[in-house]
A and B are shown apart, each in its own frame.
Chain A
Amino acid sequence: MRIRAAASAALASVSVLAIGWMVGAPAAESLQATLASATTATTTPAASTTPAATSATTPSATTPTAGTGEAAQAPAAATAPVAATPAGVTGTFDGSVVQTRFGNVQVSVTIDNGTITEVSALHLTDHDPRSVAISNQAAPILRSEVLTAQSAQVQNVSGATYTTAGYLQSMQAALDAAQF
């Protein structure tokens, strides 16, 4: 190879690699998000894996807006401090990314008062990678196998939406009348 070609190739390749590195740096940094970057998050956990705000702004100006993802937004109006800085940190934070064959999985950690109460996995992309996450699919299940927690009394029932008239015949009405 000629010297000029070799030099141009080297220069061009290094530039391309550098650009790739810089483009990937913010994504790489978010992997390093740590618990220390916690803010006084509201008790409302982050909404789903997509960054857009599904917990939308609500019409009332006195309502604090719910936070999304890592950066929780401060309440718009200070009618009520939802969570003043308590002794420990409270909130939900996104942790490091793990490469699996189904794609990159980011772990979400919920902390209550400084104690980790929940660790769950989010899929990083909200595109459709068609990499089937077998672990989370809905599978056939027998009625006897479905979760029926007996630890407390059921107070709420969900099924198809009932109308007002339908409510009267529903189990919810019976439960609502019961006193707990």
Chain B
Amino acid sequence: MSFDTRVTQRPLRVAPTPRIRPEYKRRMRLADTLQVLCFVSVAVSIALFLGDGGAARFSTPADAITSLGVLTGLVGTDLLLVMMLLAARLPAIDRAFGHDSAMALHQSLGKPALYLILAHVVLLITGYSLAGKVTIFAEAWSMITQLPDMLLALAGLGLLILVVVTSLVIVRHRLPYEVWHIVHLLSYAAVLAALPHQLTSGSLLIAGSAQWYYWLALYTGVAGSILVFRFILPVVRSLRARLVVEGVDEVGDGVVSIRLSGRRLRRLKASSGQFFIWRFWTPGLWWQAHPFSLSAAPTGNSLRITVRALGDASAALPGLRRGTRVSFEGPYGLFTDRARTSPRLVLVAAGIGVAPIRSLLETATFLPGHATVILRAHTAEDSYLADELAALCQARGAELRIIAGKRPAGLNTWLPAKAVSARVSLKTLVPQLRESDVYICGPRRWTDEVVRDARSAGLPTRQIHFERFDW
């Protein structure tokens, strides 16, 4: 296939230098603070044990095992609470790291947290049975039957195991997304079910002690945050915005742009490049939630998304009728101009990934001549929204390059075969790559390849931003 580039005219225009550094510093300070808080919370849960004189309870094997059992319970629960906070859609976390990074960390904490809780169970039963000089089974049985709230805690453990197992990648892809999601929500029940036994069994979190107050404050804070930001706020925002489908435009083969209209949308403080989780209230679609990015800059009363109708339910999207009610959660995502750290800009998109790129292009901060848009497509004609991109590039003084061609079989690259053999890379496409922020959006594997290219060009992580569309 041909290897085509299309270079647009650059109008001469003078604009003030964009102020990028202060925003970056602010964001980094917030990110640092959140990370420190996360570690400190783990340290505090250990300190609760130390503050109770726990340091001295390691003299005999039974005591040491029991103490380790208490510690693993404390740290494991703390990690579970951190995980739930990460998934609670807190605005601060989204501003500092972006929803996707937060969810990535959430996923990676899952197994360690479960292992710690399992260790907690095993160590405590072992420690108590050693101290009481009974068999492990006798001890376990008597703990379940005699200690208060133990059956509830056991149920919580079972739920937790179920949630983690169904979240393992393989199993997750075997289940329909909605089923997996409902099972995952049981994790709230699991964590709540464990709380009573933490307060009534054992001697650390005695009612009225400082530790008890802290633990309850922690639980209350996490529960309150989840309730407000994960459940209440989205509902309130959706009700207020009164978003409805305004119209559906055909963009390409199976790809449509859906225009939405609502009121007082500035309150949402959405930025170009962000995504919402949408729910369309029609009989066939209401039970599914879709994450779609904005494909145009948000205005006070309109939003636009561009989606590819694939899979079972998405196929109904092109047929959406005007006036259909739409509810949403969001806006989320750090794939925005706010994440900028450098004066120049490179936007790289493939497939339906052009959607956020298109909205970014509309409002991103750059001087004319300091931005490059790279579109990757199978043919020069079939990249979506290409005309809009071209018009925007012309208006704003950005360079547009369309790289068409099929991916070479057996090779890990984001470029077509001809480009690979011509030793094309991001560095060659964009000479001032080092002073650029690179935004990449497209299918998962392809995006990973572009990121790899950028990294091997020596670009630091803070200058690489990507969104992977893998749902």
Contact = CB atoms under 8 A, between A and B. Distances in A.
A binds B: yes
Interface of A: 1-2, 4-5, 8-10, 12-14, 16-17, 19-21, 23-32, 97-104, 124-125, 127-132, 134
Contact of B39 (A9, A26, A103, A104): A9
B421 interface: no
Contact of B35 (A1, A16, A102): A1
B40 interface: yes
B128 interface: yes
A124 B67 CA distance: 17
Given A104-B203, A129-B206, A131-B147, A23 B40 contact: no
B31 A5 contact: yes
B52 interface: yes
B31 A124 contact: no
Contacts of A104: 203
Give the bracket for the number of chain B residues in contact with chain A: 35 or more
Contact of B209 (A5, A8, A98, A127): A127
A12 B50 contact: no
A9 B200 contact: no
Given A14-B43, A134-B146, 5 more contacts: A10-B39, A31-B56, A99-B131, A124-B203, A127-B209
Contacts of A102: 147
B128 A100 contact: yes
B200 A27 contact: no
Contacts of B200: 129-131
A3 to B, nearest CB: 10
Contacts of A25: 53, 55
B72 to A, nearest CB: 15
A5 B43 contact: no
Nearest 4 pairs of A and B residues by beta carbon: A20-B47, A27-B53, A20-B50, A28-B56
B28 A97 contact: no
Contacts of B201: 101, 131
A5 B206 CA distance: 34
A98 B43 CA distance: 25
A17 B47 contact: yes
A16 B47 contact: yes
24 contacts: A1-B35, A5-B36, A10-B39, A13-B43, A20-B47, A21-B47, A23-B51, A24-B50, A24-B56, A25-B53, A26-B53, A97-B53, A98-B63, A99-B127, A101-B128, A103-B202, A104-B203, A125-B203, A127-B208, A127-B209, A129-B200, A130-B148, A132-B148, A134-B146
B53 A24 contact: yes
Contacts of A20: 44, 46-51
Contacts of B66: 99
Nearest to B201: A131
User: What DSSP secondary structure best describes chain B's contact surface?
Assistant: helix
A12 to B, nearest CB: 5
A98 B51 CA distance: 17
A99 B49 CA distance: 13
B32 A2 contact: yes
B32 A27 contact: no
B57 interface: yes
Interface of B: 28, 31-32, 35-36, 38-40, 42-44, 46-57, 62-63, 66-67, 124, 127-128, 131-132, 143, 146-148, 200-203, 206-209
Contacts of B131: 98-100
A24 B32 contact: no
Nearest to A30: B53
Contacts of B143: 101
Contacts of A30: 53
B56 A13 contact: no
Contact of B52 (A16, A24, A128): A24
A127 B206 CA distance: 7
B32 A97 contact: no
A28 B59 CA distance: 12
A13 B44 CA distance: 8
B36 A24 contact: no
A94 to B, nearest CB: 14
A2 B148 CA distance: 45
B138 to A, nearest CB: 12
B73 to A, nearest CB: 13
Nearest to A21: B50
A116 B17 CA distance: 85
B218 to A, nearest CB: 14
A7 to B, nearest CB: 9
A131 B203 contact: yes
Nearest to A23: B51
Contact of B44 (A16, A24, A98): A16
A123 to B, nearest CB: 9
Contacts of B63: 98-99
A14 B36 CA distance: 12
A50 to B, nearest CB: 14
Nearest to A103: B203
